[in-house]
Amino acid sequence: MHLLSINWNPSEGIDLGFFMLRFYSLMFVVAFVLGWFLMKKIYLREGLTVKELDSLFIYTVLATLIGARLGHFLFYEPEMFIKDPLHIFLPVEFSPKFRIVGFRGLASHGAAIGIIIAMYYYSKKVIHKPVLWILDRVVIPVACGGVFVRLGNFMNSEIIGKPTNSDYGVVFQKLGETFPRHPSQLYEAAGYIIVFLVLWYTYWKTDKRKHLGYIFGLFLVLLWTVRFIVEFFKENQVAFEDQLSLNMGQWLSIPFILIGFYLIYRSRNSEKTANP
């Protein structure tokens, strides 16, 4: 008996009869909708229109889902590009029978790359501002959205933490376990809340938004540092990670952190501002 543990065995979602509305999918919807309202507040301050915001919403949703999906298979299961490419792009299974399974397997590193690429095109085609200008702003709702994504992982009992070897922790009964693990999803969500609050304060209460790349660089350093630290409490996602000194999530986080420091340094030593 684990006196300090929590037995966790929630339902997968809301059964509508013809369709299961999964909590994980619902958390994505919440993340995107809340992100739209946060960016609307920012856009109104910057004198941009809702039409331009709607375009940003479409770019961000597509970039997040496509980038996260491709990133998972590129970094963790590259053999699937040859073995079963339809599984990568379609949210359904045809065998043994047709059913909607959603997109299981999303990598945040892939989502980050996808968003950066999408923001480049958005900045050139829609708002005609430097790409760092939009990145400095869009990362604020992105950090907030990360909180809900990890809550969705917790609801799904996935991306689980390592055993605590103590009474403390969460027993993921859905996995058929009887011992507590670190709730690494909640650790990460809590870290992202802090990242969001720091970025929000920096944008609204300081003049750093005037320096191209500063807030984006700060985001890269803070968010991927949180990810790097939390990975110590997570189980590896694929077997080959057991042979690495650091797991894949940590190795992929290091370049983002270094780029973040560079952008912060560059913004502080540059006379260019966010409104050239």
Contacts of 243 (CB under 8 A, 6+ apart): none
Mean pLDDT over each residue of the chain, to the nearest integer: 84
Q: 101-147, pLDDT tens digit by residue?
A: 555 666 777 788 888 999 999 999 899 999 999 999 999 999 999 99
Q: 180-233, pLDDT tens digit by residue?
A: 999 999 999 999 999 999 999 999 999 999 999 999 999 999 999 999 999 999
Mean pLDDT of 137-165: 92
Contacts of 263 (CB under 8 A, 6+ apart): 132, 213, 214, 216, 217, 220
Higher pLDDT, 272 or 201: 201
- Give the per-residue pLDDT at 276: 45
Q: Using the structure block, give the residue that is written with the tokens 């959205």.
A: 145
pTM for the model stands at: 0.83
- Asked if residue 150 belongs to a known ligand binding site, the reply is yes
